[in-house]
Amino acid sequence: MKLGFFIAILLFTSKNISAQKIEWMSMSQAQEAQKNEPKKIFMDVYTEWCGPCKLLDKNTFQNPDVSSYISKHYYAVKFNAEGNEEIRYYDQIFKNPNYDPNRKGRNATHQFTQFLGVRGYPTMVFFSENGDPIMPLVGYQKPKQIELFLKLIKQGDYQVFSKPEDFENYRKNFISRFRG
């Protein structure tokens, strides 16, 4: 009886650990959270029609190592690059004045997307604890590919690079720990 109970608890616990999902929030929610507990922001800039964006959601963000790492070390923001959300950022308001709710497929590009210089989807943008943009990461990334950038940004290692070779050496010496 006790062994059966122990196995049931173990299975329930391991299922919940492996099923952890990223709790996405808006940019305003992340900015508000930073006031209480400063953390970097990881923003997924996507569109509804983007195939690689959907693959990123399915294959990368569902990976337990990726979702756990992002959830622990970042505020995770999901931002529709063609959506109608109002963004307040550094005393400016960004909107999508040409947004058409009746339009299927591609829509007008949001002003915040343009401000960030996003030119392809998906793009993941990293922000500092102060809300300053650090860098964009463009394109579909597998778990082991995104791991390098998640850890590089979280640990602040990007701040010591002075020439392109520094990043290449970092990449060559990086040991991936994520599965998948």
Query: 41, 127, 46, 123: which is closest to 83 by C-alpha?
Result: 46
Describe the chain by its helix, strand, coil percentages, rounded to 5.
Answer: 45, 20, 40
What distance in Å separates the CA atoms of residue 56 and residue 45, rounded to the nearest whole number?
A: 11
What distance in Å separates the CA atoms of residue 27 and residue 131, rounded to the nearest whole number?
A: 10
Burial 59-68 (b: 16+ CB within 10 A, else e): ebbbbbbbbb
Q: pLDDT over 70 for what percent of the chain?
A: 89
Q: Tell me the two tokens of residue 136.
A: 């964009």
Which structural domains are found in the chain, ordered by start?
21-173 (3.40.30.10)
CB 143 within 8 A of CB 66: yes
Question: pLDDT digits over 79-106, tens only?
Answer: 999 999 999 999 999 999 999 999 999 9
Residue 174: φ, ψ to 5°: -70, 130
Q: Tell me the two tokens of residue 113.
A: 């997307």
The per-residue pLDDT for 133 is: 97
| Band of residue 20 on the pLDDT scale cut at 50, 70, 90 | confident
Residue 19 DSSP label: T
The per-residue pLDDT for 19 is: 54
Instruction: Please give the single-letter amino acid code of residue 73.
Output: H
The per-residue pLDDT for 180 is: 81
Question: pLDDT digits over 121-178, tens only?
Answer: 999 999 999 999 999 999 999 999 999 999 999 999 999 999 999 999 999 999 999 9
Instruction: Please give the single-letter amino acid code of residue 126.
Output: F
The per-residue pLDDT for 1 is: 52
Task: Give the predicted TM-score (pTM) of the model.
Answer: 0.88
